[in-house]
Amino acid sequence: MWTIIEQIFPYAIVFTIPLLITALGGLFSERSGVVNIGLDGLMIFGAFAAALTINALQGTIPNHNLVLWIGVLAGAVMGMIFSLLHAFASINLNANQIISGTAINMIAGALTVFLARNMTGSGNIRITSGFFPTDVPVLSSIPVIGDLFFTRTYPTTWFILLVLLISAFVLFKTKTGLRLRSCGEFPQAAEAAGVNVRKIRYLGVILSGAFSGLGGAIIIVTYAGEFTGNVSGLGFLALAALIFGQWKPLGILAATLFFGFATTVANVSSVIPELSAIPPIFLKIFPYVVTLIALVIFSKSSQAPKAAGEPFDSGKR
């Protein structure tokens, strides 16, 4: 049992991290009052930008890791740019946020393959290699914990965990965080207090774009190695994690870890003797079913930001 956990732990973490950062992005957007179901599409944009950039730069610069980080950055930037479409529609035009998010998903799926096919003919973009998992010096020799947490880790993992900590701090301990949260709970009160609701909501949506783009890019440089036109619906799973985690950073960490483990277990079940007895279909649908159950359990006490999804009607009594 323990060896199984040891074995699958790094894979689970690798799967968790893109989910985590994307869900964090969704957190900022929804906490500011804008529902963003286009996270999946923004991840696709991020994956595309990363694959494209790395593919273009690989070989030209001796430091391959630097190329990879540039690719990751490109992913974040592309996510930000396309999130502006959603921001403009939702905030300036008071469009229906679900529809706008769906449009983003559709545009991402189509446009990226369109451009990729134009460049490579097959619609997929390969990169020579991603980050290599390494052991953290010193810490990896600690018994038990060292093996679990500090061996065979990716640098991006530590980066994202840092982002998580900073996000939690900003959200709850700074004035920007206070203002952001007020815009998601009761924007009319924020406005009366002199907060620029529009600006804050733009910030929330742009952050969701940057973070989702990061998520997509990290998939490329850690376990995928190739852009294939979609991210297997991970963006939607991130949305579910956001709700499961009840809109709190730590809750999201727990929820995404859960999904990471569940999916990894489903993927490797055939190889592990104890698990191969369970029909694979159950393992595959397990995360989704559990989410449905969690949605029901949390429905009564939902901590959703009260004004999320409602167009801001300035001056409403």
Q: How many CB atoms lie within 10 A of CB 126?
A: 17
- Is 120 near another protein (CB under 8 A)? no
- Is 179 or 201 the residue whose CB approaches another protein more closely? 179
Q: CA nearest 251: which of 14, 18, 20, 5?
A: 20
Contact 36, 261 (CB under 8 A): no
Give the contact letters, 33-62, x = binds to another protein (CB under 8 A), - = no: ----x-------------------------
DSSP state, residue 227: E
Q: How many CB atoms lie within 10 A of CB 118?
A: 9
CB atoms within 10 A of CB 297: 10
- Site membership for another protein, residue 16 (CB under 8 A): no
Q: Are 60 and 238 in contact (CB under 8 A)?
A: no
188 belongs to the binding site for another protein (CB under 8 A): yes
Does position 166 bind another protein by CB under 8 A? Answer: no
Tokens of 173: 């301990």
Contact 269, 280 (CB under 8 A): yes
Residue 284 interacts with another protein (CB under 8 A): yes or no: yes
State yes or no: residue 278 binds another protein (CB under 8 A). Answer: no
Identity of the residue, 136 or 254, whose beta carbon is nearer to another protein in the bound complex: 254
Distance between CA atoms of 217 and 68, rounded to whole angstroms?
9
226-227 and 125-126 as β-strands: parallel, antiparallel, unpaired?
A: antiparallel
Q: By CB under 8 A, which span of 8-16, 46-54, 176-184, 202-210 interacts with another protein? A: 176-184
Please tell me whether residue 190 binds another protein under the rule CB under 8 A.
yes
Q: Mask: binding to another protein, 83-112, rule CB under 8 A, as x and -?
A: --x--xx---xxxx-xxx-xxxxxx-xxx-
Binding site for another protein (CB under 8 A): 37, 85, 88-89, 93-96, 98-100, 102-107, 109-111, 113-115, 117-118, 123, 173-175, 178-179, 181-182, 185-186, 188-195, 233, 236, 239-240, 243, 279-281, 284-285, 288-289, 291-292, 295-296, 299-300, 306, 315, 317
